Amino acid sequence: VRPIVPPTPSKFIRKLEFNLWLKISLEDEVVSMTVLRLASLKSWYSLSYGRFQMELCLNPGLVKKWKRMLKKEPVKGGQLLDPSTTVEVKFLRNLIEEFLEVVIC
């Protein structure tokens, strides 16, 4: 088990700059379509249940896509894997936690 070491401010700033660059890249239609296909719905697992339900109500077109994605979820030992443990779901939350660690230190 690796000890948890708080990120250095410079390391965090590099990560933040990279993520800002990614966000700007998403404005390019080709990049946007590719990325949205790969990661968009997976990150919704990180929302609270109430917020998730509200977003589905506000975006009825996503309900069909969400149900289709659930059917494709991987199965291990006859049971669905916990999607909240995937990298796609944890990425933004981990980034925010790192940011807070740097700001507080």
For residue 79, pLDDT beyond 70: no
Instruction: Compare 40 and 95 and report the one with higher pLDDT.
Output: 95
pLDDT for the residue numbered 2: 63
Whole-angstrom Cα distance, residue 90 to residue 92? 6
pLDDT for the residue numbered 80: 67
> How is 52-104 classified by DSSP, letter by letter?
HHHHHHH-THHHHHHHHHHHT--EETTEE--GGGSHHHHHHHHHHHHHHHHHH
Q: pTM above 0.75?
A: no
pLDDT for the residue numbered 11: 80
Q: Residues 30-77: pLDDT tens digits?
A: 766 666 555 566 677 777 788 888 878 887 887 888 888 777 776 666
Smallest CA-to-CA distance from 90 within 102, 101, 98 is with: 98
